[in-house]
Amino acid sequence: MRYIVTITIALKEGMLNPEARVIRHALTNLGFPTEDLSTARLFRVTLDAADAAAAREEGARMCERLLANPVIHHYTIEVT
Amino acid sequence: MRYIVTITIALKEGMLNPEARVIRHALTNLGFPTEDLSTARLFRVTLDAADAAAAREEGARMCERLLANPVIHHYTIEVT
């Protein structure tokens, strides 16, 4: 069956995120004060799998092999 | 009140996404065949607003002023 696996990859808590800091600063300068800002990458993968659990497992393997750096990233996976 | 505004920015339908193509190719080479793959950027912004509608409106203005390029991107906003 065909599943859409949505993978969100973000820096682990406590990792410095200079990009987020710069964006937050720019937003403040444009008149948009914020209390916090974090960034993440999102991958939406369409794949064939036996069931939703298998699709989720496949997504996790993709993260570990290619998409995420386990030292600095954590990822969440949603299957629809 | 404090709201978390989650902004997802992706290329418009039909725009070439060479990054997604390369990632899909790499996944195939690693033994992960996929039917489709798209990428997006995610910003999670914590801000103060009068209500959820005002928070969403603020997020949309941030996209239009800084985060997204309206020529090539579309964005979705979720408020929690």
- Domain of A25, CATH number, reads 3.30.1280.10
CB-nearest partner of B26 from A26, A58, A66 = A66
Domain count, chain A: 1
- Domain span at residue A53 reads 2-79
Instruction: Name beta bridge partners: A79.
Output: A5
Return mean pLDDT, chain B: 97
Confidence tier at B35 by pLDDT (50, 70, 90): very high
> B51 with B13: CB under 8 angstroms?
no
Distance CA B49, CA B57 (A): 10
Query: In tens digits, what is the pLDDT along chain A, a chain of 80 residues?
Result: 999 999 999 999 999 999 999 999 999 999 999 999 999 999 999 999 999 999 999 999 999 999 999 999 999 999 99
Q: Supply the pLDDT for residue A72.
A: 97
* High-pLDDT (> 70) share of chain B, %: 100
Search chain A and give the residue with CA nearest B43: A39
* H helical segments located in chain A: 18-29, 52-62
Interface test with A, best of B47, B56, B57 (most A CBs within 10 A): B47
> A35 with B48: CB under 8 angstroms?
yes
CB-nearest partner of B27 from A38, A40, A62 = A62
Cα Rg, chain B, nearest whole Å: 16
Distance CA B4, CA B44 (A): 7
Query: What number is the ipTM of this complex?
Result: 0.90
User: What single letter denotes the amino acid at residue A73?
Assistant: H
Average pLDDT over residues B64-78: 97
Confidence tier at B69 by pLDDT (50, 70, 90): very high
> B8 with B49: CB under 8 angstroms?
no
Distance CA B72, CA B29 (A): 29
Q: Supply the pLDDT for residue A13.
A: 92
Q: Supply the pLDDT for residue B21.
A: 96
List residues of B whose CB lies inside 8 A of any A CB: 2, 8, 10, 23, 26-27, 30, 32-48, 58, 61-62, 65-67
Average pLDDT over residues B10-29: 96
Instruction: Name beta bridge partners: A9.
Output: A41, A75
Residues 6+ apart with CB under 8 A from A31: none
